[in-house]
Amino acid sequence: MGAGIGGLAAAAVLSRVVPRVALIERAERPAEIGAALALQPNGMAVLDQLGLLAPLLDVGTRIERMDIRSASGTILATGRMPDLGDELDYAVAVRRTDLHRLLLDTITSTKRVHTRFGCTAVSADPAGAVIIKARADQVS
């Protein structure tokens, strides 16, 4: 898996149930681009289990409802977040770079995730063997 938001989140979850996770990223330095995203309660529940909800709330903004307005500003509809329990009845707007940093810090602080940057996974087999092509086109 790569070192984008999805790959980092998957590696963090997998590292809790398997002894070793390989995270292989083509880029020399992992980085996230883009503006922001809204995390829904189900995604926040996963981040909460990873111990990242509190730091996420420090850098994000709570969304408790969304109003749809006409061009003149009249509210046409209001949507509220469903209550999924555990007080997760809101969403969070967060900059992609902030979420990426939180996940990357989590991954690099665990010994269960082995990271390789500037490489490409060429193949893998069910036994867990992975062939990686390094920057200089060397197989390791």
Contact call for residues 89 and 82 (beta carbons, < 8 A): yes
Pairwise CA distance, residues 70 & 44, whole Å: 30
Q: Is residue 76 part of a domain?
A: yes
CATH number, domain of 97, equals: 3.50.50.60
Q: What is the model's pLDDT at position 8?
A: 95
Q: Which residues constitute the domain of residue 13?
A: 5-133
Total Cβ atoms within 10 A of residue 5: 17
46-64 pLDDT per residue, tens? 999 999 999 999 999 999 8
Amino acid of residue 138: Q
Quote the pTM value: 0.81
Q: How far is it, in rounded angstroms, from Cα 122 to Cα 107?
A: 22
Higher pLDDT among residues 120 and 56, named by residue: 56
Residue 90 lies in a domain: yes
